[in-house]
Amino acid sequence: MAGMARTTPPPEDLDEKIIDIDVSEEMRGSFLEYAYSVIYQRALPDARDGMKPVQRRILYQMSEMGLRPDRAHVKCARVVGEVMGKLHPHGDGAIYDALVRIAQPFAMRLPLVDGHGNFGSLGGDDAPAAMRYTESRLAPAAMLMVNSIDEDVVDFRPNYDGQELEPEVLPAAYPNLLVNGASGIAVGMATNMAPHNLGEVIAAARYLIDHPGASLEKLMDFVPGPDLPTGGRIVGLDGVRDAYRTGRGTFRTRATVSVEKVSARRTGIVVTQLPYNVGPEKVVARIKELVQAKKLQGISDLRDLTDRTNGLRLVVELKNGFNPEAVLEDLYRLTPMEETFGINNVALVDGQPQTLGLKELLQVYVDHRVEVVRRRSTYRRKRRQDRLHLVDGLLVALLNIDEVIQVIRESDDSASARQRLMTIFDLSDIQANYILDTPLRRLTRYDRLELESERDRLRAEIAELTAILDSPERLRGVVSAELAEVAKEYGTRRRTELLESSGEKRTAAVPLELPDDPCHVLLSSTGLLARTATGAAPSGEGSRAKHDAVVSSVPATARGEVAVVTDLGRMVRLSVLELPVLPEGGGAPNLQGGAPVAEFVELDPEERVVALAALDGVGPGLVLGTRTGVVKRVTPDYPANKDEFDVIALKPGDRVIGAAQLTGGAEDLVFITSDAQLLRFAVDGVRPQGRPAGGVTGVRLADGAHAVWFGAVPADPDEFDAVVVTVAGSSAALPGTQTGTAKVTPFSLFPSKGRATGGVRCHRFLKGEDVLLFGWAGAAPARAARADGGPIRLPDLNDRRDGSGDLLPRPLAAVGGTVVGRAEPDDEAADA
């Protein structure tokens, strides 16, 4: 039987010291230390040299190992071992991954490592070989990053164990952060920067050197957009301009394609360039998946002819009778041949993470390079001054060679000889020592001529360096001239094509050259979608159009996008270009010319569209209201790479009853409940939430009650004459069989209350009435519509907010706004 374990008692002289600590404080401090380490030591690049610590250590250590471009390659395992042992005490996998990335020509616009072997493939479809198989050395561009590092141009700090020194930043003879970009995920922040063309970035930097107050627009004349290593096309430059202005923005990248005859009888789409970080294997797999699922029509064959000689070449062979342009649009829409790139320019500036625009990035680099050149000039002048001091002393010895030799011969030892030389010839200690250490063979007549020539050259160089250091203009001129030499030596042509147009889908019904004019997209009560021909907003004045009430309207552009919001909390993108255009004229368009929403959106059997939403950054976002009284304000950062997504997490049995696009002005949110209560509260009382959130309480409901309408109403009574429409009826009647009573009340009669309260009475029920059937609030005049979209006359204004309604002439199906129209004279009379 095994013996029982015994605990050794502590020694008698043990002095115990127990410290009580707060676990929450300890966790907070430990997490902050971890976050600090990730941000500063791993994930974010320095804005000066564009390097993360591991990348900087790789380049510096390879330079110390002498792995220059004119030397032979060495095993990557050797480089990783040197970096890990001396500078970067982390896993070898992380170091090798960083080494591989800066060697990949499809990931870096100007690779920093010259790799030999398998360093992976475009898009990461093939992993790189193990480091024991691959070899590397510094690329010529990397020599520019470490050039002059031994001339006291940057500060050094001890490594992790204090036995080595490493640079805090590299000299960086070109703006590496803009040229090669960066990506990384830290704790609480991330960075994603696009690569650019070296010549364009240097041209902008030189212009900023000459014109410190240059505007962003002028700098963008030199840097119009990113230049991706894989080429392709950037479609739509608004996101690029946003990123250059604020440091954040998105743009779309498209593959470069051409339509060619791939055989005697077949036409094909040939892909020669793909979006950044997208590999051919990923595209091929996606196309095969879509063809098998019958979501992509017209493709008969797909061949990947990519090789090292011809580069990327994907051939999509088409079936006869299919329009190549239509198939190409589907490929852009459904496959990675079109991707979205989100710019997030977060980098370290003076040790602090900051989000930088184009001008700020250039300014940080220019300031760094000016400091590097200043320190280098100071170092070189000091070295030349020291050398000139020695040369002057040696020339004194040559001019008095006989006396010098006699002094040395008559001296008892070297110390006395040094002292006598200093006294007799007025030399410094350094000069005297140098004369004593100089061999006699250096004291010939020919050497004297060489020394005099060297003296003159040193004086000229010292004068030049002094002039540079004394003049900020000359110092900046040296920086500019050196940048020009780099651009001349390493600049290449732009690979990525920039397209101003948004590249929206084209249809046969819309002209190809349709301008991107402003317009309004309308949703009618009968579920018809249409857009206006101009940007004039729908008005509420004039005679009534016969068909029909407008329940939602958002501003857009002809080539832009909008979205529909369903009662299940889904948002689905729509191309404005595909919507029918309503005729222009002095009156309102007849919405009978619209198209059913079911032609554009696939809905579940019990799902319906409740409103429209803008997607082009119009206003501060979207606000939603649900049947159970929940309100949610959604910020407009919708995913650019999804056609449909959820904007609210609904509880079981709950539905969205209304959605409104906020305009940024003074607006009130309004709930109307089935028990005839109206709650009005300010939109500022609802904080924005992310898409997965479920919202907050908007209105407090009585037992058995539910919200029947929700929306946003302008809060300025001087500018908007708003009204409230309520329609009461019986809950026992079948829908559409009773007319009910309607009441129109000025919106100004309803006081503003706090969120999550019950509101005030808005309609007094008559005998037989126990529920509100409809509710609506908005700019006057309000309009009601039948199920077929025809108009119904509403009663006049009622100045009593809790009064009863007037009997309607016909059953009502929807309440909404109206648009100006030229209705037939007897339209309203026939419906009265």
The C-alpha angle with vertex 278 and arms to 116 and 286, in degrees rounded to 5, equals 125
Give the three-state DSSP class for 267.
Answer: strand
CA-wise closest residue to 801 among 774, 765, 763: 763
- Round to whole Å and give the CA distance between 713 and 417: 100
Residue 404, CA atoms < 13 Å, CB-side half-sphere: 23
- Round to whole Å and give the CA distance between 458 and 563: 72
Task: Identify whether the C-beta of residue 674 lies closer than 8 Å to the C-beta of residue 708.
Answer: yes
Give the three-state DSSP class for 128.
Answer: coil
Task: Identify whether the C-beta of residue 644 lies closer than 8 Å to the C-beta of residue 671.
Answer: no
Task: Identify whether the C-beta of residue 554 lies closer than 8 Å to the C-beta of residue 520.
Answer: yes
DSSP for 572-632, written as a single string: EEEEGGGSPBPPPSSS---GGGSEEGGGT----TT--EEEEEE-SS-SSEEEEEETTSEEE
Task: Identify whether the C-beta of residue 427 lies closer than 8 Å to the C-beta of residue 393.
Answer: yes
- Round to whole Å and give the CA distance between 159 and 165: 6
DSSP 683: G
- Round to whole Å and give the CA distance between 627 and 708: 7
Give the three-state DSSP class for 488.
Answer: helix
C-alpha dihedral (229, 232, 238, 240), degrees to nearest 10: 0
Q: Which residue carries 């009997």 as its tokens?
A: 807
- Round to whole Å and give the CA distance between 353 and 54: 18
CA distances (Å), 432 to each of 331, 383, 448, 777, in order?
Answer: 81, 18, 17, 99
Euclidean distance between the first and final Cα of the chain, in Å? 103
Contacts of 197 (CB under 8 A, 6+ apart): 109, 179, 223, 227, 491, 492, 494, 495
DSSP for 170-219, written as a single string: ---SS-HHHHH-EEEE-SS-EEEE----HHHHHHHHHHHHH-TT--HHHH
In this structure, what token pair is assigned to residue 372? 């590097």
Give the three-state DSSP class for 346.
Answer: strand
In this structure, what token pair is assigned to residue 816? 């909404």
Task: Identify whether the C-beta of residue 76 lies closer than 8 Å to the C-beta of residue 114.
Answer: no
- Round to whole Å and give the CA distance between 514 and 707: 43
Please give, one letter per residue, the 3-state secondary structure of 703-750: CCCCEEEEEEEECCCCCCCEEEEEEEECCCCCCCCCCCEEEEEEHHHC
Q: Where are the beta strands (DSSP E) in 202-298?
A: 233-235, 248-254, 256-261, 267-273
CB neighbourhood size of 512 (10 A) = 8
Specify the amino acid at residue 524.
S
- Please say if 34 is a catalytic residue: no
- Round to whole Å and give the CA distance between 628 and 700: 9
Active-site residue (options: 36, 60, 96, 133):
133
CA-wise closest residue to 322 among 287, 296, 340: 296
CA-wise closest residue to 304 among 334, 340, 274: 274
**Catalytic residue ranges:** 133
